[in-house]
């Protein structure tokens, strides 16, 4: 008698993507516990940090938000936080890999977030203090909720102390000009690198925007020199 066919194991990226897209709160992969978690929207002086200021808030504390590629490697890979030409702020795969499928619309989440926090346990780097990762992990394990998307109280990303050289950067998404275009629109933002992406190529990169993974926009990703 032939053995019954077995269903292939679920794709962890696909599962995380589905949970991430259904969440009203920021949902990111947390390497320290190897799990996708919901986190509180950052606050500063009693007000929610606007999407365009998230990178500054994270950098001031030495933090970054990992993309799903971090699940495959030994260290955390910060997602790209990108401002598009329409002013929306997105978080996408660091390497722009469609199979990663990590994507967050921070402009939308800013409106839907149900949890907010000043994160008093995460000091700014200029204070000379470091957050206690052990205490944060211990608190999570004691408060752990058994859910598909658990809430990780006090967690706002990975710290540069644990992942040397990993920082959060801000990028601008510049629509690629048609091949026969003679001039670049004067309103199109330019970088100090004259439109080159961070790898030095003048070819536009494909950046996946649609939450269903079905549509894409061709853009040139330009690193913001001020981030």
Domain boundaries, the chain: 12-172
pLDDT at 52: 94
* pLDDT averaged over 10-residue windows placed end to end, the chain, 227 residues: 49 85 96 93 97 95 92 83 92 82 94 97 91 85 84 92 82 60 39 38 38 37 54
Q: How far apart are CA 218 and CA 31, in angstroms?
A: 30
- Given a contact cutoff of 8 angstroms between Cβ atoms, the answer to whether 101 and 13 are in contact is yes
- Given a contact cutoff of 8 angstroms between Cβ atoms, the answer to whether 25 and 114 are in contact is yes
pLDDT at 215: 32
Predicted TM-score of the model (pTM): 0.73
Q: How far apart are CA 213 and CA 223, in angstroms?
A: 24
Return the structure tokens found at 26: 């920021």
Q: How far apart are CA 188 and CA 184, in angstroms?
A: 7
pLDDT at 218: 36
């Amino acid at each position: 008698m032939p053995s019954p066919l077995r269903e292939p194991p679920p794709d962890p990226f696909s599962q995380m993507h589905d949970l991430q897209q259904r969440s009203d709160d920021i949902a990111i992969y947390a390497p320290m516990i190897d799990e996708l978690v919901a986190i509180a929207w950052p606050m500063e002086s009693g007000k929610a940090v606007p999407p365009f200021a998230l990178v500054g808030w994270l950098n001031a504390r030495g933090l970054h938000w990992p993309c799903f590629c971090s699940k495959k490697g030994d260290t955390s890979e910060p997602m790209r936080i990108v401002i598009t030409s329409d002013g929306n702020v997105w978080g996408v795969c660091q390497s722009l890999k469609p199979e990663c499928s990590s994507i967050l619309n921070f402009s939308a989440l800013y409106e839907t977030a149900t949890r907010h926090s000043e994160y008093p346990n995460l000091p700014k780097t200029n204070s000379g203090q470091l957050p206690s990762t052990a205490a944060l992990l211990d608190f999570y394990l004691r408060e752990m909720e058994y859910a598909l998307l658990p809430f990780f109280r006090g967690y706002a990303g990975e710290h540069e102390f644990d992942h040397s050289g990993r920082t959060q950067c801000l990028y601008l998404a510049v629509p690629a000009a048609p091949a026969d275009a003679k001039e670049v629109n004067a309103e199109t933002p330019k970088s100090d690198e004259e439109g080159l992406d961070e790898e030095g190529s003048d070819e536009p990169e494909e950046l996946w925007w649609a939450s269903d993974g079905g549509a894409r926009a061709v853009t040139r990703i330009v690193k913001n020199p001020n981030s």
